[in-house]
């Protein structure tokens, strides 16, 4: 039982590391991605808590969290999608060199 | 009994790789790759470990249901995130070494 409690604490620390990316993330996409990772880790924490506290009804909570997290993140992404998404999607296939942005980072000496 | 805990450790290894990739990768697309693969496999390992430890048919069916939901949801979300990132103009980081610069003459 104490092993699963230790694993829960380790997963909580990893969720805090993901939260750093959610705070400093340069774009909105990074923040949404970090919140998705935190949701999955929370799901694992709830499942392990259900086993370690011997209260297996918590698995229902995990099912609800999976569905609600999916809908929430999908709604956030939907609000971030540009208005002319269909035109852009068709456009990117024809002139990707103008629409896809590259940043060159110099490594080594 | 113990194979469940071994699978737990495999799961937290994958979750640790997810956190490392999310923190250290240079652009959004690499982070999407890390989060998608690492989280899906980590949750698979943890749920497989719980299947060895939990008894009762109803609980096992619920655990498989959680796994099925997340295995459908996680690739869907990463596909949509990458589509939104591409359409919003997120940049792709290209690493250039000294040999590349000399070869291109800049």
Contact check, Cβ <8 Å, A44/B43: yes
What are the CA-CA distances from residue B15 to residues B20, B39, B65 (Å)? 9, 6, 21
Residue B22: phi and psi, rounded to 5, are -65, -30
Tens of pLDDT, residue by residue over B61-105, are 999 999 999 999 999 999 999 999 988 888 888 887 777 777 776
- Lookup: tokens for B94: 């290209």
Count how many domains chain A has. Answer: 1
Question: Does residue A23 form part of some domain?
Answer: yes
pLDDT in tens, B22-49: 999 888 899 999 999 999 999 999 999 9
Q: Are B14 and B41 in contact, with CB atoms under 8 Å apart?
A: yes
Confidence of residue A1 (pLDDT cuts 50, 70, 90): low
A99 within some domain: no
Residue A22 maps to a domain: yes
Cβ-based neighbour number of residue A2 at 10 Å: 7
Question: Distance of CA A77 to CAs A5, A67, B77, B100, Å?
Answer: 34, 16, 9, 37
Q: What is the pLDDT of residues A22-61, one digit of tens each?
A: 999 788 999 999 999 999 999 999 999 999 998 888 999 9
Residues of B in Cβ contact (< 8 Å) with A33: 22, 28, 31-32, 35, 81
Residue A60 lies in a domain: yes
* A74 close to B80: Cβ distance less than 8 angstroms: yes
- Cβ neighbours around B61 below 10 Å, total: 10
Could you tell me the residue range of the domain that residue A78 belongs to?
2-83
Q: Would residue A103 count as lying in a domain?
A: no
Q: pTM for this structure?
A: 0.88
User: Residue B47: its chain A contacts at CB < 8 A?
Assistant: 47
Does residue A92 lie in a domain region?
Answer: no
Which pLDDT belongs to residue A23? Answer: 93
Interface predicted TM-score (ipTM) of this complex, two decimals: 0.87
Residue A104 counted as domain residue: no
CB pairs under 8 A between A and B: 161
Q: Do B54 and A74 lie within an 8 Å CB cutoff?
A: no
């Amino acid at each position: 039982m104490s092993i699963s409690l230790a694993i829960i604490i380790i997963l909580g620390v990893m969720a805090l590391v993901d939260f750093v990316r959610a705070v400093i993330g340069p774009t909105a996409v990074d923040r949404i991605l970090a919140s998705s990772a935190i949701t999955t880790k929370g799901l694992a924490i709830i499942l392990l808590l259900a086993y370690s506290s011997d209260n297996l009804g918590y698995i229902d909570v995990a099912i609800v969290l999976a569905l609600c997290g999916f809908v929430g993140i999908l709604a956030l992404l939907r609000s971030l999608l540009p208005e002319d998404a269909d035109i852009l999607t068709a456009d990117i296939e024809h002139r990707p060199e103008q629409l896809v942005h590259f940043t060159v980072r110099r490594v080594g000496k | 009994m113990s194979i469940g805990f071994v699978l737990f450790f495999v799961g937290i290894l994958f979750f640790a790789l997810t956190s490392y990739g999310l923190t250290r990768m240079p652009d959004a697309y690499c982070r999407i790759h890390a989060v998608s693969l690492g989280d899906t496999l980590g949750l698979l390992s943890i749920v497989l470990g719980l299947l060895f430890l939990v008894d009762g048919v109803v609980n096992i069916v619920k655990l498989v249901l959680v796994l099925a939901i997340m295995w459908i949801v996680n690739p869907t979300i990463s596909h949509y995130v990458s589509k939104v990132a591409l359409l919003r103009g997120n940049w792709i980081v290209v690493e250039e070494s000294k040999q590349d610069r000399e070869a291109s003459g800049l």
